[in-house]
């Protein structure tokens, strides 16, 4: 398993109180683990970097980047991912 996944799982257990509170359920850990994974998927800096790299690719190198459009693209991707996985902020 990827070490980042291991780290997220450990964080989910801590966040859910599983290490200290026996009333915390596996479901609590599972829910928090899913939330952490989705948060990783919608990392603002990484996604905006990916959008910028796409704009700067050889195919698009002659185009001017519109930062407002890049932010709007990020916002829509973030909304779609969170909606798909049922994660609310």
- Give the span between the Cα atoms of 77 and 62, in whole angstroms: 25
* For range 2-26, the mean pLDDT: 82
pLDDT for position 76? 92
* CA atoms within 13 A of residue 8's CA, in its CB half-sphere: 17
* CA atoms within 13 A of residue 53's CA, in its CB half-sphere: 6
**CB of 45 within 8 A of CB of 57?**
no
Q: pLDDT for 51-86, tens place per residue?
A: 888 888 888 878 887 889 888 988 999 899 888 888
Quick one: which of 16, 14, 41, 39 has its CA closest to 27?
A: 16
* CA atoms within 13 A of residue 2's CA, in its CB half-sphere: 4
Q: pLDDT for 18-57, tens place per residue?
A: 766 666 688 888 889 988 998 888 888 888 888 888 888 8
């Amino acid at each position: 398993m990827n070490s980042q996944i291991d780290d997220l799982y450990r964080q989910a257990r801590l966040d859910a109180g599983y290490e200290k509170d026996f009333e915390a359920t596996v479901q609590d850990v599972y829910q928090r683990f899913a939330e952490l994974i989705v948060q990783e998927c919608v990392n603002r800096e990484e996604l905006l970097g990916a959008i910028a790299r796409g704009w700067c690719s050889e195919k698009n190198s002659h185009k001017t980047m519109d930062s407002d459009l890049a932010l709007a693209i990020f916002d829509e991707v973030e909304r779609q991912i969170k909606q798909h996985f049922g994660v609310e902020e």
